[in-house]
Amino acid sequence: NKIVIATGNKGKAAEFKSIFEKFGFEIQTLLDYPELDEIDETGDTFAENALLKAEGVSKALNTIVLADDSGLKVDALQGQPGIYSARFAGEEKNDAKNNAKLLGELSELPFEERTAHFHCTLALAAPDKESMTIEGELDGYILGVPRGQNGFGYDPLFYVSEKDKTLAELTHEEKNNISHRAIAVRNLEKVLENWINN
């Protein structure tokens, strides 16, 4: 059983590998296909962008593909950066600059007004099949100072009350149990077999 994950993000790729290992899938990502052109994420929603990636790579490789479009929704910023999370601070994808920009925009706000949500939409596509999408979300708070070395992206700023830690202070295993991505994959599990066989 092979699944290609349509991501070039090393952090996402590592998480998908450990999440799917349990199910006995062989996982490849776009890091294994450097010759493929990057797909323009021209959609207005997580679902549109996830479908663009899944269907584009499925056509190119003629195989089953799973794509992840994810991001951080900050309530005080009316849901931004949202689908623009990877490039919040500019055209290049830069986690450190994105985190600095987020801290700047929230600098005046007290803790209880810094609520945020990590969102993940997964899209599945296969040749001659109708695509599907499924979601997962994790609630938290944006801290004023980064904490922790693990994970990627906004993880050092994202505080999870239940753990009293940021996502970057959790082990990879702990993050992969509770994250928006893990929740979406658990939701996917419930429908995956049915989708593959129909």
Residues marked as catalytic: 69
Size of the site for ligand ITT (CB under 6 A): 23
Residue whose CB is less far from Na ion, 39 or 64: 39
Provide the terminal-to-terminal Cα distance of the chain, rounded to the nearest Å: 17
How many Å apart are CA 2 and CA 12, to the nearest integer? 17
- Give the residues lining the site for Na ion (CB under 5 A): 41, 49, 69, 83
For the CB of residue 197, give the shortest distance to ligand ITT in the complex, in Å.
Answer: 27
For the CB of residue 13, give the shortest distance to Na ion in the complex, in Å.
Answer: 15
Beta bridge partners of 141: 115, 159
CA distances from 119 to 26, 85, 89 (A): 25, 11, 19
For the CB of residue 80, give the shortest distance to Na ion in the complex, in Å.
Answer: 13
Residue 179 within binding range of ligand ITT, rule CB under 6 A: yes
Residue 12 within binding range of ligand ITT, rule CB under 6 A: yes
Residue whose CB is less far from ligand ITT, 175 or 193: 175
Residue whose CB is less far from ligand ITT, 29 or 126: 29
In the chain, which ranges are continuous DSSP H helix? 10-21, 46-61, 95-105, 172-178, 180-196
Strands laid side by side in the 132-142 sheet: 26-29, 2-5, 65-74, 115-125, 132-142, 158-160, 165-166
**Residue 155 burial by CB count (10 A; 0-12/13-18/19+): exposed, middle or buried?**
buried
Return the H-helix or E-strand segment holding 5: strand 2-5
Which residues in 20-79 contact ligand ITT (CB under 6 A)?
Answer: 41, 68-72
For the CB of residue 34, give the shortest distance to ligand ITT in the complex, in Å.
Answer: 13
Residue 136 within binding range of ligand ITT, rule CB under 6 A: no
x/- track of binding to ligand ITT for residues 147-166 (CB under 6 A): ----xxxxx-----------
User: Applying CB under 6 A, which residues contact ligand ITT?
Assistant: 7-9, 12, 41, 68-72, 85-86, 93, 98, 118, 151-155, 167, 179, 181
